[in-house]
Chains A and B, each alone.
Chain A
Amino acid sequence: MSEKSLRNIFIVGTVLFLGVLVVMSRDSLSQIVMGRTPALSADVVAGKRVWQGKNCNDCHTILGIGGYYAPDLTKVVERRDPVWLANWLGNPQAVNPATTMPNQRLAAADVTSLVAFFKWVGGINTNDWPPQPRLNAGADTSGGAVVFQQKGCTACHQIGGKGPAKMGPDLSRIGSTPYDGLSNSAEFLAKWLENPQAQKSSTLMPRIPLTTTERDALVRYLTSLK
């Protein structure tokens, strides 16, 4: 084939494929705005500006894009409740002195906006990303130790002197030695895991969303630590 014909194929083909992309993009963008993402509010947009202004995205990923240094925040509202998030964003070191997340010195209004932004992001239809882990540890009778790891409990608690942080109480003997005057019965621990603040309002422990099987596995594990 002559150079000229090949050049024409290159130009015409490129224009054609760009045209296809433009058509697909129009459809995609309208679907994104018309239902695949929740409705925007002024608070959400303000939160996005804080998110960008503080360059959070170069440590954290969101929608899987960004730095791989800190957790993905696409579905963070499924892991952490809004009160805990607001406390954390206001001053991470007050919640966990060992954390390496810098205090961004956010104004209270910025914190509120950021929480609204994360709630909004949590509502994006991501085609089921991130995937649920394959290992459903909660279904297994011995899975409490794995749930303990999966839910990031080790970020605050040590067991047997092992673990990166000492923020929360050491749970090595929680099955035999109650902590802080609270009960260590299976019933109480189950209630505690459901909602720590409901049992002790001053606690720093966040409410970690757990399925019933995950909670029960964790209670079995904790009561076995003697």
Chain B
Amino acid sequence: MTTVPQIKHPSQRVAYAFFAASAILFLLQVLFGLIIAAQYVWPTLLMNELPFNVGRATHLNLLTFWALLGLMGATYYLVPDETDSELFSVPLAYVQLGVMLLAGVGALASLWFFGLSRGKPFTEAAMPWPWFIALGAVLFLVNVGATIIRARRWTAITVVLFGGMAGLSVLYLTNLPFFANLAVDYYWWWWLIHLWVEGTWELVAAAIMAYLLITLTGVERAKMHRWLYVEVSLVLFTGIIGIGHHYYWIGTPRYWLLWGALFSAFEPIPIALMAWDAFASMKRRGAAPTNRVAWYWLGGTAIGHLLGAGVWGFAMTLPQINKWTHGTQLTASHGHFAFYGAFAMLVLAAVYTVLPRLRGVERVRERRGLWAFWLMTAGMLAMVLAFTIAGVVQVYLNRMIGIDFMTVRTQYVGFWMFWVWLFGLLMFLPGCALYVRDFFALTRKVNLQPLPS
């Protein structure tokens, strides 16, 4: 083997365990998604064993878990690099992973076997598991924060990354109390959901993206740092008050119709800037990339984020439209596209960048990884298209013509959900399974390919 990029700091290896857990939970999430999609088509399927609400809660919670574990893994890898020091504590990182996994298994087992739930989407985990999740977040912050403070290296990437992670942890606190008033409850719930995915998670994602671009394209660091600040500033300046697009119809004052529309109309701008910045950096790199799979996921997340979050989100963000589309399959189409584009593809870009380095090689055998990329990406696009048509049909027949909800769901929406299920089964699931297989194959030497000497 020739000289290849090695990790500089052995503590970066903890990323592997986080990525491995993340990959397995990803596959599980897809399996549960397929079951609930099938229930739209065959409503009596597993009706008593796994009712739709339990399947959906599982699908949503696994998504949050695997995406967060992936982002945490990427953070543990890049913070030693950025601070040029070892991680504060490797054992603490493993303890933290253990606490998070315990919380996840506990929450799902409580739901499956005891029917326990706190009954709000994404935050179904029954007590006491939310406290374990909060503990996991605190341990993570302590470990990452102590590393940065000890090294005294607050680079743009570490500032934004730590700010995002600290913010998302603080926001999680809104999930702990019980609110007697449903409208108040959902008011705070949106602080968690919106300020996570359109605020703090965006900061974490932007920081990881900046790190990956610097690592993979060799773009000038100082320039990337300035860009990062411009982008995340615009994300928060539009996104914080942009929370108003969730406050149109939930018992909140009418002024949110104006404020929400105004600010969220600008939310796609920073996302477009990020996509442009990513492609400009990738283009500047003269030579062909040595790790094409990572490269594909990186370009994929730039485009997927723009389309899924920017375009699909904007399409229903104005109150005149949202009044009709709120709470329909159109929301599901946006949710799937945005999560896949902004977070799933980014985590996979990080995994494919980091994994070969942990093994001390530059390239991996690419065939399987590229198949996984195309199967998942084309599968998701097809699913999003089917969700979108289902949503338009639902909005027209149920909301505009006024035909009864269940008639529309069983007679019209179900048909399009069949295609969601089919594309999921024939494309996304095999793509995801290939990724998981590739993930574990990459840890075996035989699948690694040294650089040509």
A residues with a Cβ closer than 8 A to B are: 1-3, 6-7, 9-10, 13-14, 17-18, 20-21, 24-25, 27-29, 31-33, 36-37, 40, 44-45, 48-49, 51-59, 61-72, 100, 102, 120-121, 124-127, 129-135, 137, 146, 149-155, 164
Contacts and interface: CB of A to CB of B under 8 A. Distances in A.
Nearest to A163: B407
Given A14-B240, A68-B332, A57 B120 contact: yes
Given A59-B53, A131-B323, A150-B404, A9 B236 contact: no
Contacts of A54: 115, 117, 119
Given A55-B124, A68-B331, A102-B47, A129 B248 contact: yes
The 8 lowest CB-CB distance pairs between A and B, nearest first, are A133-B402, A52-B119, A152-B404, A64-B327, A58-B53, A129-B249, A6-B229, A55-B117
Contact of A51 (B36, B119, B326, B405): B119
B181 A37 contact: yes
Interface in B151-193: 156, 159-160, 178, 180-187, 189
Interface in B314-363: 323-324, 326-329, 331-332
Contacts of A58: 52-54, 56-57, 60, 119, 121, 124
A139 B183 CA distance: 35
A135 B124 CA distance: 38
A164 B412 CA distance: 12
Contact of A61 (B178, B187, B259, B327): B327
B226 interface: yes
B252 interface: yes
Contacts of B327: 61, 64-66, 68, 72
B121 A133 contact: no
Contacts of A59: 51-53, 56
B250 A1 contact: no
A9 B228 CA distance: 12
Nearest to B407: A154
Interface residues on B, range: 35 or more
Contacts of A151: 404
Nearest to B236: A14
> Which residue, of B40, B57, B402, has the highest number of chain A Cβ atoms within 10 A?
B402
B236 A155 contact: no
A66 B117 CA distance: 14
Contact of A129 (B48, B326, B409): B326
A94 to B, nearest CB: 17
Contacts of A133: 399-402
Contacts of B117: 52-55
B401 to A, nearest CB: 5
B53 A100 contact: no
B252 A155 contact: no
Contact of B406 (A37, A40, A130, A155): A155
A67 B409 contact: no
Contacts of A25: 187
Given A55-B117, A59-B53, A127-B248, A13 B236 contact: yes
B233 interface: yes
B303 to A, nearest CB: 25
Contacts of B182: 37, 48, 62-63, 120-121, 124
